[in-house]
Amino acid sequence: MTISLDNVDRQLLDWLQRDASLSLSDLAERVNLTTTPCWKRLKRLEESGILQKRVALLDPEALGLSFTAFVQIKTSNHSETWYRKFVDVVTPFAEVMECYRMAGEYDYMLKVQVADMAAFDRFYKKLVNSIDGLTNVTSTFAMEPLKYTTALPL
């Protein structure tokens, strides 16, 4: 379901992407509404699924999780059954921050966040021993994050 967003909706979403801890009264003031219409807009955005959740973003380095790996996976099995098994296996891994089914040379790509190479090696062994049918697992490692955002362009 697609809903139409006006300028006030976009402003609300932009403010929330910057700081989800803003109070209702602060949000309303920033978009020139009173609290009741602001609350109704937020409810509509939540009910439509545009506003999915409000979370805190943590600093991986401050938590000792500064090692970022991108894991590209090929498989020879493209059945619905294998796909579901793969998703069921990968989803519970806390180290997997993002998982995508891809078009192109690789079938899947994971973004993995761990403490160091030894932690990545443990993750890698756990992954490849958890699911059959992987024909190629290639990893690359980030040297330095240059841009990171969760904010969508509105």
The per-residue pLDDT for 2 is: 74
Q: Do β-strands 96-101 and 108-114 pair in parallel, antiparallel, or remain unpaired?
A: antiparallel
Q: Do domains 6-46 and 59-140 have the same CATH topology?
A: no
Tens-place pLDDT, residues 15-49: 999 999 999 999 999 999 999 999 999 999 999 99
Q: Read off the pTM.
A: 0.89
Query: Are the C-beta atoms of 108 and 86 separated by less than 8 Å?
Result: yes
Tens-place pLDDT, residues 41-79: 999 999 999 999 999 999 999 999 999 999 999 999 999
Query: Are the C-beta atoms of 28 and 12 separated by less than 8 Å?
Result: no
Which token pair is 148?
A: 């990171």
Domain 59-140 sits in CATH 3.30.70.920 = yes
Backbone angles phi, psi at 21, to 5 degrees: -90, 0
DSSP labels, 38-59: HHHHHHHHHHHTSS--------
CATH number of 6-46: 1.10.10.10
The per-residue pLDDT for 3 is: 83
Domain boundary assignment for the chain: 6-46, 59-140
Distance (Å, whole) CA 98 – CA 117: 19
